[in-house]
Structure 1
Amino acid sequence: MYADDKVAEVTETYAPDGVPETGKKAGTADDREAMRRLGKEQLFKRNFGFLSIFGFALILMSTWEALLGTIALALGNGGPSGLLYTYLVSYIGFTAVIVSMAEMASMAPTSGGQYHWVSEFAPRSIQKQVSYFVGWLAVLGYQIGVTISAFLAGAMLQGLIVLNNPETYIYQKWHGTLIAMCITICVAIFNVFFANHLPLIEGVILVLHFAGWLAIVVVLWVLGPRTPSVGVWNTFIDAGWGNTGLACMVGFITSAGAFAGGDAAAHMAEELKNAPKVLPRAMLWTIIANGGMGFIMLVTFLYTMGDIEVALASPTGFPIIEVFRSATGSNGGATALTSILIVLGIAGNLTNMAGASRQMFAFARDRGLPAHKWISQVPPRFDVPVNAVVVSTVFACILHCINIGSSIAFNIILSIGSVALITSYLTSVACITWRRIKGLPLLETRFSLGRAGLATNLFSLAFLVVLLVMSFFPPIPNPPPELMNWAIVVYGGVLIFAGIYYFVSARKHYVGPVEYVRKSA
């Protein structure tokens, strides 16, 4: 026995069911009661409070940063005004979605998130199967999220090299891949060996998130060129669809993708003190703050971007870098502002890794993944799912390598992340909507939608259905095979693989989280 273990024995006492009564793992009485009801063992320290979990969720969603990094698609499909109005629709729609999930998170504050909620609220005849497939999609969505955040940070860093060395640097895709892999590995090391400092780091990053946003907004308004208001509020671009509305809907995925990850805080529920109360508050404030900051940043960008064709043709690969260069009039100024995005991108990768590993750990704990016993292990001297972090790191590095062979294939795979998460949101909200329509009882909660619950859930479902359909559209009309959106193929392939594993093995040992709840009742 290690010395640290002896200290833990003195400072923590456990009830017969394995739920700690005292110490850093105990949390509040509501936390202990929630873990007892869920039938889960408390393995992690509850060292997150409201501010740190708010910072965690805010950085993982990174709405304004994601917009600036992925804005090119929407500018070509819908134009400035199309992007602006679809952003407002996304803001409203995702607010309803996150409010719906916040209620479920307060009812069942567990790292499993969506697949656990589905297991609790779906019709009993399909609880096991539906929660299993939602678990796979949620894991997939977060694993790809780990890849995206590292890739964007690495690609922007490579873009700065192109900006500052246009005549001597020869662009190679494998350079950006190596940078992204390095970021992923460094983030994994932090998540394993310095996880106890994660709440403090999230607080620091929260300050940087607001400070970086303010710095960029001020610089662009003070130094940037001015686009006439008609160019912002009444300029649409149709990339050949023959219908402006359809073009805007194709670009819809850009603004919607900036809100993906609104469930992030839920996957840290077992490390949050007073989770039933604090968790829904953190989720709500995340969408309110990120949505507002994203809107101000988007309006600022559109008013100061200058010539849209020049921005889209930037050799750096990122229109925002060209906008920074144009506004400041120097490569140095553009480098400084872009560096803010890179640092925040790495910080986002840090939080993505934490959320993805907890999601994977929870699903493995419920025996939904291959090698579930190994993945769900938490080493005695660690308070994090180390093996899940290792799997997340390896998976991300494998995906990074795909970019070397084909950027198109890589981008297609990355687009699956948003589709997978949207499906998990849609399914979980549909299940609680079904219970409300049937008049079935819901679980006790510290955050209730009350009479507005059914209307909010139905609006969320309508929004998510439209978003899911548009996620499978190609980026341009009548694309050649190499530019087609093959997301549906990869999406279906993952579900087929999950189905095969279910019938071969998982159906024998995966029972769904609700069965553990029933056993503990």
Structure 2
Amino acid sequence: MVWLWIGCAIFAAVCALSLLLAREAERNAMLSLHQPLRQHTAYVRYMRDKHDLNGFGFAQQLTRHMGGLSTFGLSFSSLPLIGGAIFLLGPAVAAGGPAVIGIGWPILGLFGLLTACSVAAFASAIPTAGGCYHWSLATGGRRSGLWSGWLHAAGSVLLLATTNIWLADWFCRTLQRLWGYTGSSGFFYLVLVTLFITQAAANARTGRVLGRLMSWSAGFQVALLAAILVILVTIAWPGLYPFQILGYTADFWNSVNGAGGGETSAVLGLLLLQRLFLGIGDAAQAGEETRDPRIALPWSIYLSTAGLSILGFVLFAFILLHARVGSEGLRALPALGDWLVDVWGRWGDASTLCFFLLAIVPVWMNGSSTMAAGSRTLFAMARDESIPFAGKLSVVSVDYRVPIRAVLALAAAAGVIATFFVMTVPASSLLTMVMQLVLLSVIAMHAALAIPIAGRLRETLQESDARKASSGIRKRSKLRGPWELGKYASAVDAVVVCWLTGSALLALWLLKPAALLIAAGCLLAGAWCIERKQRSLRRKTPVKIVGSLRFGRRSMDECIRIERKFPQ
């Protein structure tokens, strides 16, 4: 019980810290030289953003159609709250017990909030489509940029594959369980391929309204969350919720509730829930599609993460508490997603079908946002001639203003990986295989973010030593944008680097030998390819000019000539 109260204290600290950090960031933004230009016309604001991008050496090819609400929707849609309740909560609690929510989730929320601060500061300083690829290029050079970019692209592919495998499996099982429709042997593959095709079509053909779709998805996700809370409270009323069960470990919970079916590892449970925070930096890849990105992007990243930390704790705690006292008879925690659908059966089959269809939407949108973020990373690397087939993958559709070939390439890669694993792994081992893919995605995404954050921390310490040697003369770093934490930034970066590195090592420790062998092979092949590419790019773009953050060699006139094909 003591640990549960410690968890509650950490959750309260997360709530208070989110307000304090937001106040510090807003104060620094007001003290910066950045001007929002709200009193000027949309054309003036667009030209400011375009010239800012030209200063990095890039032409404005993508459409700046996203505002603050759209970028918040994109960021919040990248954090799969409803999908986590359906797919991840059950296996995580079966592995580590309800304590992974009562104690573990506040810890995840605390470090997730700090990570969001570091990512938001980078998005404010370098608002390009490359995201962590350009951040690493600015802090550590070309080799670091290649590593971070490829790791982020690989992590996006794994996240997209696992999301669609989970959704297709849950879709087919629910049809069979509730309505008896088994379909043919290829029905599952048909659903899986349909998910990839529809997400790719939405990303390739709806570039100008992508932000609007994501904002609707975020609002829809919050509304569905509120509906779940209302129905759970209504069903159990006036019963008393046994709050103390949120401190139960896996062994104690399984013995009193009969909830088996998972490895009794609290670390595994925490890392499964860590998947919900892997989309923290996805919105940063929309830097070239956002109006006033130096302010809109960081606030979207920060607020969406704070919302996930707070709302996620409330939602997951309510679900677990009701699962213990409700009358619906939950027997196996790994099947918690099925139980959530069955809860609505008291209002009839129509209500069950309605919730089933509504729950699909935010999960599908989560896959779409992951595809959008990963494709922007591929596009940015191709534009810099840092990957194979750069000339083709850097093509932007004139009609839809999206890197259409990068979108299709990432969708195809994720689809091939998902289909391969589903065809080679028995159905009984599908959940275990997906867990291994989640652990691999945690390693890839955390490493992709740790590289630039560690580089910035190193540069900050070097600047501090140089400032002491030059009698305290302070010069503002180009790695700092208008959104930053000021004197707390270095401490936050240090904590985040330790957290990202430690959690990645824990995920590596839990990999099974087969997954570890595959990861080692991919890592060695990737290292060889990156070294070859790095040597071939010594005299080519991308290049970080010393003393600036210019990544490309294109002059302003060259950028203008390119932009004539993409009128805004």
For normalisation by structure 1, the TM-score amounts to 0.84
Counterpart of 1:186 in structure 2 is: 198
1:44 equivalent among 56, 62, 82:
62
Note closer, same or farther for the CA distance 1:286–1:230 as it changes in structure 2 (3 Å cut): closer
Structure-2 separation of matches of 1:400 and 1:213: 29
Instruction: State the alpha-carbon separation in 2 of the partners of residues 344 and 171 from structure 1.
Output: 27
Paired residue type of 1:436: T
Measured against aligned partners, the alpha-carbon deviations of 1:325-354 in whole angstroms (never above 9, x if no partner) come to 256447734443333221111122222222
In structure 2, the gaps of 5 or more residues are 1-39, 254-263, 465-475, 556-568
Which of 536, 542, 545 aligns to 1:508? It is 536
Which residue of 441, 446, 449 maps to 1:422?
A: 446
1:381-392 correspondence runs (5 A): 381-392=399-410
Contact 1:181 1:397 in 2 (8 A): yes
* Whole-angstrom distance in 1 between the partners of 2:506 and 2:544: 33
Indicate yes or no: 2:178 matched with 1:160: no
In structure 2, the residue matched to 1:62 is: 80
2:219 equivalent among 181, 203, 207: 207
Map of 1:4 onto structure 2: none
Provide the residue aligned with 1:322 in structure 2: 339
Cα distance, 1:188 vs. partner? 1.1
CA RMSD of aligned residues (A): 3.0
Matched, 1:112 2:130: yes
Amino acid at match of 2:248: T
Provide the rounded CA distance (Å) in 2 between the counterparts of 1:67 and 1:421: 21
**Secondary structure, in 3 states, of the residue corresponding to 2:50?**
helix
Q: Deviations over 1:351-394 (max 9, x none)?
A: 22222211111122122222111111113333000111111221
**Displacement, 1:227?**
7.8
Secondary structure of 1:70's counterpart equals: helix
Q: Which amino acid aligns with 1:321?
A: D
Alignment of structure 1 residues 302-451 onto 2, 5 Å: 302-306=320-324, 311=330, 313=332, 318-326=335-343, 328-329=345-346, 332=349, 333-402=351-420, 403-406=422-425, 407=430, 409=433, 411-439=435-463, 442-443=477-478, 444-451=480-487
- Distance (Å, rounded) in 2 between the aligned partners of 1:336 and 1:224: 21
1:220 aligns with 2:238: no
Partner residue of 1:14? none
In 2, Cα distance between equivalents of 1:373 and 1:451: 43
Match of 1:465 among 495, 501, 506: 501
Of 513, 517, 521, the match for 2:551: 517
Q: Kindly state the Cα deviation for residue 492 of structure 1 after the two structures are TM-superposed.
A: 2.7
Question: Structure 1 residues 310 and 395 mapped into 2: Cα distance closer, same or farther (>3 Å)?
Answer: farther
Residue 491 of structure 1, aligned match among 516, 519, 528: 519
Q: Counterpart of 2:207? A: 195
**Residue 148 in 1 paired to residue 138 in 2?**
no
C-alpha distance in structure 1 between counterparts of 2:79 and 2:108, whole Å: 14
Q: Give the counterpart of 1:229 among 242, 259, 264.
A: 242
Cα deviation, 1:279-322, whole Å, max 9, x if unaligned, reads 111111111122222111111111111389974648xx732222
Q: CA 1:239–1:140 in 2, change beyond 3 Å: closer, same or farther?
A: farther
Structure 2 CA distance for aligned equivalents of residues 145 and 227 of structure 1:
38
The one-letter code matched in structure 2 to 1:424 is A
Are the counterparts in 1 of residues 137 and 145 from structure 2 also a CA contact under 8 Å?
yes
Q: What is the one-letter code of the residue matched to 2:182?
A: Y
On the 8 A contact 2:121/2:484 being kept in 1, the answer is yes
Change (3 A) 1:252 1:414: closer
Kindly tell me: are residues 230 and 363 of structure 1, through their superposed partners in 2, closer, same or farther at Cα, counting changes over 3 Å?
Answer: same
Contact 2:384 2:552 in 1 (8 A): no
The one-letter code sitting in structure 2 at the alignment partner of 1:60 is: S
Distance 1:422 1:513, change over 3 A: farther
Partner Cα distance (1:86, 1:227) in 2: 24
TM-fit CA distance, 1:116: 1.0
Q: How does 1:253-268 map to 2 (within 5 A)?
A: 253-268=271-286
Deviation of the 1:507 alpha carbon: 2.7
Structure 1 residues 92 and 148, CA, compared in 2 at 3 Å: closer, same or farther? same
1:462 deviates by: 2.1
Q: How far, CA to CA, are the matches of 2:173 and 2:42 in structure 1? A: 44
Partners of 1:507 and 1:239 in 2: CA distance: 56
Distance in 1 (CA, whole Å) between partners of 2:165 and 2:276 is 16
TM superposition shift of 1:513: 5.2
Q: 1:239 to 1:457 in 2, by over 3 A?
A: farther
Report SS of the residue matched to 2:287: helix
Q: State how far apart, in whole Å, the 1-side matches of 2:240 and 2:542 are.
A: 54
Task: Give the Cα separation in 2 of the matches to 1:409 and 1:348.
Answer: 20
Q: Which stretch of structure 1 is more off in the superposition, 427-436 or 326-335?
A: 326-335
Alpha carbons of structure 1 residues 326 and 28: separation in structure 2 relative to 1, 3 Å:
closer
CA distance in 1, matches of 2:41, 2:377: 24
Maintained 8 Å contact 2:101/2:317: no
Structure 1: tracts of 5 or more residues without a match = 1-21, 241-245, 476-483
Residues 72 and 473 of structure 1, relative CA distance in 2, 3 Å threshold: farther
Of all paired residues, the percent bearing the same amino acid is 17
Instruction: Give deviations 1:113-166, integer Å, cap 9, x for gaps.
Output: 1121111122xxxx2212211111011111222223322322221121122145
